[in-house]
Every structure is written in C-alpha cells, then in structure tokens.
Structure 1
Amino acid sequence: MSHERRRSMLIFVDLVIIWFSVYTCYLLRFDGHIPPHFINQSILYGLISAVVCLITLNYFKLYTRVWQYASVGELVALFKAITIGVLISYGAVFAVTFERVPVSVLLRNLETLLILIGGSRFAWRLVRDRIYKPKQAHMNALIIGAGDGGAMIAKEMLSQEEASLYPVAFIDDDKNKLKQHIHGIPVVGSRKDISNIVKLHNIDEIIIAIPSLSKRETADIIEICKPTKAKLKIIPGLSDLIEGNVSIKEIRDVEVEDLLGREPVSVDLEGIANYVENKTVLVTGAGGSIGSELCRQISLFKPKCLMLLGHGENSIYTIEMELRRTYPALQLETIIADVQDRERIHDIFRIHKPQVVFHAAAHKHVPLMERNPAEAIKNNVFGTKNVAEAADQYGSERFVLISSDKAVNPTSIMGTTKRIAEMIIQSLDKTSKTKFVAVRFGNVLGSRGSVIPFFKQQIALGGPVTVTHPEMIRYFMTIPEAVQLVIQAGSFAQGGEIFILDMGAPVRILQLAEDLIRLSGFEPHMDIPIEFSGIRPGEKLYEELLTKEEGLTSTKHDRIFVGRPSIISRAQVEFELKKLENVLFEEPFVVRDVLANVVPTYIKTKIS
C-alpha cells in the first residue's frame, strides 16, 4: 500500500472514530436522549474535535509512523496528541458559545479516543503478526537469549513483510524467565534443553542472541547446538546492541573463530605507542596475510612513516589503497623490492633509516618448500640475513622477526629455514645496538593458503574434504589477535628473545573439517565425505612451540611467554651460512644434509 493511500485511510478511520466518540459520549451522558439544546453543541464539538484532533495527530507524526514497529514511544505520542486535541476542542467550544461541554462527556471522549484510535493501530499490527505472518514464514527459528538482544531480533522477525524465518521459542538460562512470553513467543527452557526443543519444534535455525556472552561461553553453546543439524547464526557484540545496530541484517553465520572460544586480546596501548608512535616503521612482506594486518594495526599508533615493502605489486597496491582510505593523514612509503636483493635492501635502509622493523616476508607453504628447498633458503634465510644486517648497520632500534612453531624440532625445509632465521637474529643481537627478537606462533585462521579456505572451497564443490591424518592437531589463532600479540611482544624486547604466543588448546584438523561442514549446513561423512590423504612431506602430527634448551618464562602479558635466548656466536652462524650458500644449486638431498648440520634437531623427510 502506498504512503498516501495509507495516510488517507488512517485519516478517514480517525474521523469516523472521533464522530462516533462524540455522539456516543453525549448519548451516554443523557441516557440515550440528547436534549435539543445539546444536539447543536454536540455537532459543534464534533466538528471542532475532528479538525483539532487531526491537526494534533499529524503534528505528532502519527500518520507517518510505521505501526508494525510501534512501541512505548508511539503510545506516548498518541496520548499527547489526543489529550491536547480534546482539551483544545473543549476550550474552543466554550470560546464560541460561552457554554461548557459536560465534564463527563470530556472525560469519556478522551478515554474513547485513546482506546479506539490506539486500538485501531495495534489491532492491525496484531492481525499481521499473528494471522498472516506464520503463513508466510518457511523456517522455524529458536532464539537463545531472552534479553534485549533476543527481544529485538524476535520483534524484527515478526514485523518483516516477507519473513523467511519465524521465531517459535526462546531459550534462556535465567529460571525467572521460564514460561514467560516475549512478543507472544514462549521461553521454553535452558541451554541443556536445546536438543529436545529443536526436535519438538522442528527448528531450522538457531540464533545466539546474547551479545554480552564471553567467547568461551559462546563456544560452549555452539558445541551444544552442533549435533542438532540446525543452522547456527549469531548476533554482533554488546557495543552493537548499545549503539542500536542489532537487526536481522547484522546477524551473521557462526564462523570457525567462534568455535575456538578465544577471549579478545588485551594490549598495553601505552607500551606499544612508546616504541611505534612518531617512528619510521618498516614492514616486509606487507602484502601478505600477517604483513597487511601488521600495517593495519600499526597505523592505529600513529607512526611518523609506515613503509610497506613487498615483492608482489598487486598485494602492496591493495593494502596501500586500503590504508590511504582508512588513514588519509598517515605518511606511507610503498616499496617494491625482494628481500633477497642485498644491495636494494641496504639502499632502502640507507635512505629511509627505519627505526622499527617487522620482518614478515617469507615462504611459508610446507609441501611447496619441500620441493623447492633452494628458494626457501634464499628467501627465509638469506632474505632475513639481508634485512637484519641492514637494520644493524643503519641503526634500527628494534627488529621483530615473524617466526613459526614449525621452527621447533623441524621436520620440514620451511621450519628449518625459519629456525635458521631465528639463529641469525639471535647471533646478531650479541653485538648489535638493535634489539633483535623473534615471535613464534602457529597457524592463523583464514591466511592465504591455510587449511580453512581450502576446506571451504572443497565444501563449496560438494566434497570430498581431504584431511591428511585423523589424529593431526594444530594450534590456531585469528590473524588480528596474532598480530596484536606480535606488536605487544615487540614492546617487551630486550634483545635476543624468542617470544611464544599462547595459542590456546590445540584443534584436531578432522574436527575442524567436520565443524566447517556443519556450519555450511551439511552433515559430515553423509552429505560431504571426508577422505584421508596421508601426511605430506615435512608435516608433523602435532607442532611444538619450544625446544628443550629454551625453557619458558612469563612476561607482563598473560598470552605472551619468552624462551631463554640461545647462545649462538655470529662467527659460527656465518660459517654455517657459507656452507648453505655453496650448496644452494645442488641436489635437494645435499641441501637437506647441510641443513641438518646447521640445525641438528631437523628431521629429514622423504619426498615422494
């Protein structure tokens, strides 16, 4: 129905109600027989009331409000409009005739108008919500959380013209809410009842609508919901609820990050600002998953200049455009360079003299590096050496190496080269004024080439999802939380440390695959098959975060630990690197033999 037609219809209904109210009030006042004298007064009062009340109703915008979303605000506006209209009409009749309308007529008229005009609006809403709405909905929804968030979502679902979801029940752990109704929808149980309620009410979709819920509690509820086969969704956080942003459009699918149950990282903003603010900061590998997130988060701390160095022009261009759009006042330097080019790297340091360096440039794909060991060594080892020595020569204050848990007792070329990179910066730290540190962590969710995007692609194609081994486990972090902790670890640097990030509980890759399949609306092993492909060259069943020699001590941050600095002489490292350089173009088995001499804990694997 068009706005003008709807407005005309409401005005017509209100006119009928006003005349009906005035006439019946006079009838009741005089027991069904209105004296001739008061007939004239009732006609005048009716005319004036019709004009005045329509004006006040319009003034309070009661003809432009959407009544299917009506709440207390609409009721207050309605009360003001009718009360003011009735009082003005009463005064106008007295001003024209010098005769008072009977007080009983006045009060009964006010009461009748409030009931009938207000009732006409809410009656239509009731008809729409309770009669037409369920017929249009195709799927039943269960809302977890009978608080403000859940009530908002339910109200919006009920008011939608074309609803695909209809809320049939609430779940809440508050016993006081049990058997109560919110917007006519019952609270039927607590989280322990979810499985039975889903079956009883044929629930198609479960919406977690408790924005104040901790990450751990969210993960616990998701675990309860997973076996039900209902699709899971979640509303945004508490800040969105406070700002009034909670709506059906804001509901999102449950992601793998929600399953981890990780609480948000807290950072010491002052400590970070002390070494980043007003400094020239260089990020190598700035176009990669970790590098680009480093750039985003460093930008928040107002560096004097942020230098984005990368080998791929497209990825550097993408992050540059994003940062220029988000931080228009930030001074950016974008540099296309290869960390393997020693002269180019030294020129960059000589010209720009970066004070803080985050070295994220690296080859990281384990199976690919097994087949290309020379490239892994050139990039991860000699690339790191070039950047670290330039930082030492040109007086950088801090150098933070992004390392990997695969560097511990490595079974892969990639892990071994990352361990050598750690050895390089630890040996340099002994004689340099630059504080060299490494930060070691496991897998990050959603990074390029990581397992989760690969699984999602396989699911989209209908499967099968390939898992290497049923017992394989990995540590996971989100990219933002890993980067926050990397930047925080940099503030703790004294020189030579290897910081280890608390990755939380390890995750079985098989369970991760099953969860992703369920979150996509399928049943693992039935709708989407899972196949085991066998452990790939260089892979372990589980990763470690520390060598035996490093030990572990805590830092000021409960998610960051520090390994004891290794005693590695620069001369020894240089001697081993010379041997590596000499065999770069030899057969892969020769390269592996030399790597095993450099890193005695390296366990060589065969390439099929």
Structure 2
Amino acid sequence: MLCDAAIINLAMAIPFVLRFYENDGVSQYLRSYISLAPWITITFIAIFYVFKLYNRIWAYASTGELFAVIQAVTLGSLAAIAISFFAHAPLPRSIVAMHWAFAILLMGGSRLLWRYAVEHLKTNGHKPSRRALIIGAGDGGAMVARELKGSKSSFIPVGFIDDDPMKRNVTVLGLPVLGTREQIPEVVARLKISLVVIAMPSVEASVVRDIVEICRGTKAELRILPGMYQIIDGQVSVNHLRPVQLEDLLRREPVRVDLKEIAGYLGGKTVLITGAGGSIGSELCRQVAAVGPRKLVLLGHGENSVHSIWLELEEKFPGVALAIEIADIRDKPRVEDVFQTHRPDVVFHAAAHKHVPLMELHPAEAVKTNVFGTRNLAQAAVRFGASGFLLISTDKAVNPSSVMGATKRMAELIIARENMAGITIFTAVRFGNVLGSSGSVAPLFKKQIARGGPVTVTHPEMKRYFMTIPEAVQLVIQAGAMARGGEVFVLDMGEPVKIVDMARDMIKLSGLEPDKDIQIKFTGVRPGEKLFEELLTAEEGSSATEHKRIFTVRPSLVDVEALESELVNLSRKGLQCTAEDIFNALGAIIPRFRSYRKVQAG
C-alpha cells in the first residue's frame, strides 16, 4: 500500500512537470494538488483494496492481474476528478489523462519487477545442463516453455519449431521459432538438443506420427504433452511430459459432451452398471460417479476387479453412495433380487464374454452370458420400472462371423423387443476396439516387445477400428442422454487401422526397428475373425444426431415370434449348444443373415 501511495503521487507529479515545465504554472498546480493529495491517495488505496489487488500473489501475475490494475486505476482517476471538482480545484484534463497512463505504467511495472525478482531468486544458482526444443509455438508450447524456464528442471528451452508461416522469424517468451518440422534434425544437431517436446495437444494423429518419425533420426529424447484438458486446467508441468504412446499416434478430436443433458438423466438417480470391474465397466463407474448419482450400484462376477474399482471410487468420490453386488447375470433370481433391492433408474449393461477365439471354443457360455444374461437384465429392468437401459454392443455384431458377434447381435434384438414391452427406454451403442482394454492387442504387443519378440499379427491386411476407453465411455453416456427408445447408436470410430501398422508403431516407440530388432510374425486368421469389421449392415443405413460423433442406425425389424422360438430352442440345448445352432437361430430371426453366411462361407 505504501508503494502504491508513492506511485499514485509520483504519477501525478510527472505530468505536471511535463505539461508546465516551460512556465511558472508548475508550482501553482502542484500546491493545489498537494492539498487534495491525502484524499486522492486514500481513495485510490481504498479502490485497490476493493479490487483485491492486495490479495494477489504477484509473483504469478498475468494479464488478468494487469486488467484488474487498469480497472482499479480507471475508477480511481474518475474519483480523483470528482474530488477535485467538489474541492473547487479542478485538475486539467491533460493532467488527468497523463496521470491515468503513468499510474498504470508504474503500478504494472512495479508488479512485473516483483515477479521478475522472484523468478530470478527461484532459479538463482540453478543452471540447466541440457537443452530442450519445443514443437508447437501455440498455447501448449508457451506453457511448456514457461514451466521449463521457471522450474528447477535440468532442461532449458532454446526455441520452437512450428509449421505456421506467420510464426517464422518471431519470438515467443523471448525464444525464437527456429523452423519447420523438416528442419528438426538440423536444429537438434546444431544446437545440441537433448530433449524434444511435442506441445500440440489438439493436433491430428498424422502430424504426431510424422514428427515422431522425423525425431527418430535424432539422438534427442522425445516427450509429448498429453492432452488439451491440461491446457484448459492449467496443469502443465514438467511432470506431465511423458514419452509418446500409441494413443498419441491414434489421436482424435477431443470428445465434447453436454454436461447438462448428462446430469439431467444421471444426476440424483440410482445407476446400475454391470461388468463393473471390466475395462469399459470400471470407466463407466468413474464417469457416472463424477456426475453425482444418488446411488451407484456396481454389479460384477469377478470379486477382485469389482473390489478394486470400489476402493478407487470410495477415495475419489466420497460423496457418492456405492453398493456392491457380486452376481452372475445368468442367474435370473439373483438378478431380480438386485433390481428389487436397489430399484435402479438407469442400467448400463457392459457385462459380456468378448474374446472371439475363446467363444468359438465355448459357444454355450457365450449364449448363456451374452444372450440370456442380457434377457434377464432387460426383463428385470421392465419389471422394476427402470427408466433407461443401455446395452454396450460391438462392431462384431454387424454381419457376424463369430459366435461372440452373433450373440451380441441377438442381445441387440432382445432389447429391441423389450423396448416395446413397457416404459423402459432400451437402446444399444456399437463401437469397435478400445485401446488398453483387457484382451486387446496393444497390451499383448507390449509384452512381446518387452521379451524381444516376435510380435504376432494374424494377417497383414487385418484392420480394426480403435478408440480410447475414456473416449468410448464419454460417447456412450452421451448417447444414453439422447436415447428415445429402440435405437442403435454407432460411435464415430474414425479410420480403421492396420494391425501390422500398429505393431510397427509400437516397436518404433520402444526405440527399436521393426523386422531388424523385433520380428513381426504372421500367424493366420483365427476362428471367427474377419479381416475388416463393419459398423452397420447394408440395410440399416445411418443418420446424424445432434452430436457429430454419434450416429443412429435403422434397426432391423424383429420377428418377435421367431426370436422367442429360437431363444427357447437355444435354452433347451444348454451346454450342447454349438456355433452352428447360434448362427441358424440368427438366420431364422433375420432372413437376410442366411444369404450373408452363404457368401461368407464361399
């Protein structure tokens, strides 16, 4: 406050000297001002106090603090004009304008000087030994540069790389933009760069892949800023920079969800999630808990996985009531007991047998879980008045060639039938593979690379759709908010990825050379697998929704009598149920499916 009092009066004295230094008016105006100085000074300090300029840590001041200074000084200048007017000693307009400008300049300058002094003291004696090059001279790059300069990191930023022609020959935070991505090898060699940081959190995967390939030709360590959410939250620090991962090479546009819409159908409700211990189920638990349900019921068959997510949710969301149910969805009386006890408003059904080759060997188990387990849950939802039921389906349910895909297709048909039975809104969401899920190809490749190979790929032309688990779950929850009953939602999976290309990328990310350090071995297509998965059948078609990453398809008409008849037949066969029985049942329900099977068999 004392410093600001001095600045206020100095900012008034300077304009008097500049304005009247050639005549004798200086002393006259100064005497007039001195009589008002105590009142003007007190008024300014009071306004600064009201604007909380003394409640800020100026060592971290930014444009927000500067804007607050401008507002406070402007209001103070208006108050000074009023004081001088009522005291019958009006100040010249030029003096008031110059005082306003000098007050902002001196107040802002004093705080900038304080910030510089604190930063200097923090880094005093700390001399980074290694040089860092930042790729991306935007918001992410600037924040990384500021963090590296202000922290006690062993790296010091020396410049940026950016392809934007408007940023050539300019500086950001005092650091030059040194060229485009093609010049990275030359810049790294010339400036002896030890670390390259990719700081473009919203750039396309193809750009990241290109930069990674370029940087592999250098000796510099490569790290990446993970995602846009850290830029938004201001959480960027040296600790958030991590090695490039497979998810970065498949990077897609961040998912945007309508939080109000989601909170409207989940907030304050009882939500039941089946398969709660699985990859998709556990992420559903996390994201639903964040919305604030009245109660979250975790149902799973594997006690260890359910216990793990239970402990995590208790720690992260202490205000959410949790209920744990260890149960098998194939046990109809147990399922009804769970529904009667908790009376869920919304059900997310993620429990399923998903491993394609294993279900080819055990078709009866796939039927009992994926078909009859789904029917048990759907019927209980209707009986106990659930308002919504969402089935997690798969792209393998489209023109299925596997037992797993066929049983998931039948599960879709079951909920389509149940949608006509009562007030419960039933819907399904289809999507492809998710990175990092149990049984997915990425963890297998990591293990194979860690032990020195070979990395096994079934076929050189094998392609799959991929998305991350959090992205898939966000879109599933959003689709649930859009459901009106009977729809099948399809998520935008982007472009399919060749599995062999993914294997090569993962080998390169490990710092090794495909077919040189790590061999890639083709093992042949496994039972039930297709080279290329589809997201919708020819007769379904698709239409857009209000969310650009979610589409609806026209569900196939269900022959209810045929469906009931085939379910009875499958139930009778029980453990003797074969893969052919399942495909025959599906063919009896969907006539076109028979012709598809013939073409496929040929």
Range of TM-score over shorter length? 0.7 to 0.9
- State whether structure 2 residue 459 is matched by structure 1 residue 472: no
Task: Report the CA distance shift for 1:593/1:419 in structure 2 as closer, same or farther (over 3 A).
Answer: closer
CA displacement at 1:179 relative to structure 2: 5.1
Distance 1:489 1:299, change over 3 A: same
Question: Equivalent residue for 1:258?
Answer: 248
**1:143-191 CA distance string (max 9 Å, x none):** 213456546655766788884x665653123556545677996532112
Aligned-partner Cα distance in 2 for 1:524–1:201: 30
1:142 to 123, 126, 133: 133
Establish whether residue 277 from structure 1 lines up as the match of residue 264 from structure 2: no
Deviations along 1:50-70, one digit per CA (max 9) or x if unpaired, are: xxxxxxxxxxxxxxxxxxxx9
- Structure 1 residues 425 and 149 mapped into 2: Cα distance closer, same or farther (>3 Å)? closer
Letter in 2 for 1:142: L
Is 1:552 aligned to 2:535, yes or no?
Answer: no
Per-residue CA shift, 1:242-298, capped at 9, x if unaligned? 766433222112222222231111112222222212221111111111111111111
In the alignment, what sits opposite 1:591? 581
Give the 3-state SS of the residue equivalent to 2:393 in structure 1: strand
Query: Does 573-582 or 336-345 show the bigger shift?
Result: 573-582
Whether the 8 Å contact between 1:401 and 1:439 is mirrored in structure 2 is: yes
Residue 501 (1) aligns with residue 491 (2)? yes
Whether 1:188 aligns to 2:174 is no
Q: 1:310 aligns with which of 300, 304, 310?
A: 300
CA distance in structure 2 between the partners assigned to 1:265 and 1:248 by the alignment = 25
By how many angstroms is 1:461 displaced?
A: 1.4
In 1, distance between residues paired with 2:450 and 2:499?
Answer: 18
Instruction: Output the amino acid matched with 1:301.
Output: V
1:56-115: CA deviation from partner (whole Å, max 9, x where unpaired): xxxxxxxxxxxxxx9999xxxxxxxxxxxxxxxxxxxxxxxxxxxxxxxxxxxxxxxxxx
Which of 210, 235, 241 is matched with 1:223 structurally? 210
Shift, 1:470, TM fit: 1.3
Could you tell which deviates more after superposition, 500-509 or 525-534?
525-534
From 196, 202, 206, give the equivalent of 1:214: 202
Which structure 2 residues correspond to residues 84-483 of structure 1 after superposition, within 5 A?
129=127, 134=129, 137=130, 141-146=132-137, 150=141, 153=144, 163=154, 169-175=159-165, 178=168, 187-198=177-188, 205-210=195-200, 213-216=201-204, 219-229=206-216, 230=218, 231-237=221-227, 240=230, 245-483=235-473
State the shift of 1:538 in Å.
0.8
Write the deviation string for residues 427-454 of structure 1: whole angstroms up to 9, x where unpaired.
1212222111111110111111111111
Task: Output the amino acid matched with 1:583.
Answer: K
- Which runs of 5 or more structure 2 residues have no equivalent in the other structure? 1-58, 63-115
TM (norm. structure 1) is 0.72
User: How far apart, CA to CA, are the structure 1 residues paired with 2:298 and 2:122?
Assistant: 60
The aligned residue for residue 565 of structure 1 is 555
SS in 2 for 1:496: coil
Does residue 526 of structure 2 align to residue 536 of structure 1? yes
Cα distance in 1 for residues equivalent to 2:61 and 2:382: 67
CA offsets 1:217-251 (integer angstroms, 9 cap, x no match): x6414323324415531125566457664332221
Q: Residues 333 and 530 of structure 1: is their aligned pair in 2 closer, same or farther, counting only changes over 3 Å?
A: same
Instruction: Give the Cα separation in 2 of the matches to 1:575 and 1:223.
Output: 55
Q: 2:476 aligns to what SS in structure 1?
A: helix
Query: Please, what is the CA RMSD of the aligned residues?
Result: 3.3
In the TM superposition, residue 412 of structure 1 has moved relative to its aligned partner by: 0.6
- Structure 1 Cα separation of the partners of residues 349 and 523 of structure 2: 34
Amino acid at match of 1:189: G
Q: Which has the larger radius of gyration?
A: 1
Q: Describe the SS at the equivalent of 1:545.
A: coil
Deviation larger for 535-544 or 253-262: 253-262
Change (3 A) 1:537 1:159: same
State the distance in 1 between where 2:408 and 2:532 align: 17
CA gap 1:123/1:483 in 2 versus in 1, 3 angstroms:
closer
What is the rounded CA distance, in whole Å, between the counterparts of 2:232 and 2:259 in structure 1?
24
Q: 1:577 to 1:440 in 2, by over 3 A?
A: same
Contact 2:391–2:427 (Cα < 8 Å) also in 1: yes
CA distance in 2, matches of 1:271, 1:180: 44
Match of 1:512 in 2: 502
How many residue pairs were aligned?
482
Q: Is the 8 A contact 2:276 2:306 kept in 1?
A: yes
Note the residue ranges of structure 1 that are not aligned, 5 or more in a row: 1-69, 74-117
CA distance in 2, matches of 1:441, 1:604: 26
SS of corresponding position for 1:495: coil
Please state whether the residue corresponding to 1:584 is helix, strand or coil.
helix
CA distance in 2, matches of 1:515, 1:175: 30
Aligned partners of 2:406 and 2:583 also within 8 Å: no
Task: Give the Å deviation of 1:214.
Answer: 2.0
The one-letter code sitting in structure 2 at the alignment partner of 1:214 is S
Question: CA 1:248–1:365 in 2, change beyond 3 Å: closer, same or farther?
Answer: same
Task: Give the equivalent residue in structure 2 for 1:50.
Answer: none
The equivalences for 1:46-85 within 5 A come to none
Pair 552,146 (structure 1): closer, same or farther in 2 beyond 3 Å: closer
Distance in 2, Cα, partners of 1:71 & 1:353: 51
Amino acid at match of 1:571: E
Quickly say closer, same or farther: Cα 1:243–1:438, change in 2 above 3 A.
closer
Please give the alpha-carbon distance, in whole angstroms, between the structure 1 residues aligned to 2:175 and 2:359. 58
Deviation digits for residues 2-46 of structure 1 (CA, Å, limit 9, x no counterpart):
xxxxxxxxxxxxxxxxxxxxxxxxxxxxxxxxxxxxxxxxxxxxx
What is the CA-CA distance between 1:396 and the residue it aligns to?
1.2
Q: Spell out, residue by residue over 1:343-365, the C-alpha distance to the aligned partner (whole angstroms, 9 max, x if none).
A: 11111112222111111110001
Q: CA deviation at 1:411?
A: 0.7
Q: Which amino acid aligns with 1:207?
A: V
SS in 2 for 1:252: coil
Distance 1:236 1:542, change over 3 A: closer
| TM-aligned CA deviation for residue 474 of structure 1 | 0.9
Q: Residues 228 and 523 from structure 1, CA distance in 2 versus in 1: closer, same or farther, beyond 3 angstroms?
A: farther
Distance 1:194 1:291 in 2: 43
